[in-house]
Amino acid sequence: MPESKISPQAALIYTMVLAAAADREMTDGELRAIEEMIVFLPAFHDFEIASIAAIAAGCTDLLAKDNGLDIAFRRIKSALPPGRLRETAYALACDVVAADGVVSQEELEFLELLRNAVDVDRLAAAAIERAARARFSPIESGH
């Protein structure tokens, strides 16, 4: 059975939903980060916002299937051309993981699987991860 094709924007949404679900708990911070990225980022210019729920549901439905994560990764990779958009997907996933201020072991493992699945090299991934940490670092009280 051939893989279902998804748009580049749907692939980015899949990536964010998978990142939020990696630790089996979607926090308010993660959901807010996803919403803000979809509204403000250039990758989602001219994207039909009303289709978010259906795309997210399609992604979460995959997770209930055998090899669902592998199928999702294949769909993401085939929808995104090599290079910048794959790095964008990885960056969005890192931002979602960092959004609630706590990064679990499951989330770290998910990021490694994603990086390998979409062929983001280690150096680029390290820079993207560091940038996400910097963006989501809280201001400590007393400073």
Please tell me the distance from the alpha carbon of residue 45 to that of residue 105, in angstroms, as a whole number: 33
Q: What is the pTM of this model?
A: 0.90
Instruction: Report residue 74 as tokens.
Output: 């294949």
Please tell me the distance from the alpha carbon of residue 89 to that of residue 11, in angstroms, as a whole number: 8
pLDDT at res. 105: 94
76: exposed, middle or buried (Cβ count in 10 Å: 0-12, 13-18, 19+):
buried
pLDDT at res. 8: 95
Whose structure tokens read 């770290």? 108
pLDDT digits (tens), the chain, 143 positions: 456 799 999 999 999 999 999 988 888 888 888 999 999 999 999 898 889 889 999 999 998 999 999 999 999 999 999 888 999 999 999 999 998 888 889 999 999 999 999 999 999 999 999 999 888 888 876 65
Question: Domain locations in the chain?
Answer: 8-135
Please tell me the distance from the alpha carbon of residue 94 to that of residue 88, in angstroms, as a whole number: 10
CATH top-level class for 8-135? mainly alpha
